Amino acid sequence: MVILFQTKPSLLAGAAIVGPLESRSVFRSYFDVVAEDELFQEKTNERGQSRLITDTCQLVMDKAQIKNLDVDYFLSGDLVNQMTPTNFAARELAVSFIGLFSACATSVSSVIIASLLTELGASQLAIAGSSSHHNATERQFRYPVDYGAQKPATAQWTVTAAGYTLVGKYNPEFPYVVAATVGKVVDFNDTDPFHMGGAMAPAAYETITTHLKQRKQKIYDYDMIMTGDLGNIGLKLVKAMLAQDGISNDELKLIRDAGAEYYGEDKSFLAGASGAGCSASVFFSYVLSQFKTGRYKRVLLVATGALLSPLSFQQGESIPCTAHAIEIAMN
């Protein structure tokens, strides 16, 4: 299902704050703050993540020179049970808030909802985005952080990062949302929680091909298509699927993945980065900045999410996945 936005909701500002380990990221110079303390001066991982969210939102507001009461809606989510870090951050922001869960695809699904509210005229300014905290996420989905389990080469590293953007009415000086595709839930019966890239690749493929088909576009119409957190192997899988449809290698070079590039060539992160903060921190810092410099005129951002829980995996369920896309352009 592709949505075409008539009023061109614009992304008026963006900010990303990351944890200490993310100083190793290739996108480091685009992040606004690299924190020195992984707890963000709080007592627990979860409170730290809350602080990470409020600080990032504050930075977005500072950049746009507004205060929290100027914001109409806060749309966001994270990966912790019941999304308490985001809910608690919303308590501090004190604006109308809807928590959204699309796992790691929340970075884009939140922008889609914010754009729809803007299009409707219900929102003048809305903050959208998502975050993840490595320790808070790992303890919930996998093992305790200090447990010495061997992860396979397909495993990915959940980032500690938050990325938020301010969605408002059309402003020609900023990139705007042209269209969006709300992804279906795709399940190709993958069951390995240490191979999320493999589980999510079909969802990314489905959303990319649907968007291009309904928009009657080719990959060449974009300066870049960037997926969220497929990782090295997931990215290869999406490219292999598209190659089977007869898409040339030159075109496939325009497809990049935030998770695969996040930590550069560092092998200790295995297949790359993941987490709701991975796509958000890259999309709303690096990608938006590339519009400013004029390098990009049109990109497709495809955030991917694995909709599993530790319970569903232990009960033998497969991993359903989704991918949401926004087409962003700037004149």
Partner 1 sequence: MKQQQYKTIEQQITPATPYVLNAFKAFVVGGLICVIGQAIAFFYMIFFDFTEKTVGNPTVATMIFISMILTGFGLYRKLGQFAGAGSAVPVTGFGNAVISAAIEHKTEGLVLGVGSNMFKLAGSVIVFGTVSAFFVALIKTLLVMMGVLQW
> Which positions touch partner 1 (CB under 8 A)?
43-46, 139, 143-154, 188-190, 195, 198, 201-202, 205, 233, 236-237, 240-241, 244
State the minimum distance, in angstroms, from the CB of residue 195 to partner 1. 7
State the minimum distance, in angstroms, from the CB of residue 330 to partner 1. 33
| β-pairing verdict for 73-77 and 255-257 | unpaired
Angstrom distance (rounded) from CA 174 to CA 177: 10
Of residues 96 and 154, the one with the C-beta less far from partner 1: 154
Of residues 121 and 147, the one with the C-beta less far from partner 1: 147
Question: Nearest-CA neighbor of 304 among 266, 271, 258?
Answer: 258
State the minimum distance, in angstroms, from the CB of residue 39 to partner 1. 10
Of residues 144 and 218, the one with the C-beta less far from partner 1: 144
Q: Is 321 helix (H, G, I), strand (E, B) or coil?
A: strand
Of residues 75 and 201, the one with the C-beta less far from partner 1: 201
Of residues 204 and 288, the one with the C-beta less far from partner 1: 204
State the minimum distance, in angstroms, from the CB of residue 19 to partner 1. 15
Angstrom distance (rounded) from CA 221 to CA 16: 28
Of residues 167 and 325, the one with the C-beta less far from partner 1: 325
Other residues' Cβ atoms within 10 Å of the Cβ of residue 82:
9
DSSP per-residue codes, 254-287: TEEEHHHHHTTT-GGGTT-EESHHHHHHIIIIII
Angstrom distance (rounded) from CA 201 to CA 208: 11
State the minimum distance, in angstroms, from the CB of residue 66 to partner 1. 34
The set of residues, in sequence order, having a beta carbon less than 8 Å from that of 24 and lying 6+ positions away, is: 263, 264, 266
Question: Nearest-CA neighbor of 234 among 224, 242, 246?
Answer: 242
State the minimum distance, in angstroms, from the CB of residue 127 to partner 1. 28
Query: In whole angstroms, how far apart are CA 24 and each of 92, 227, 263?
Result: 30, 20, 6
DSSP secondary structure code for residue 242 in this structure: H
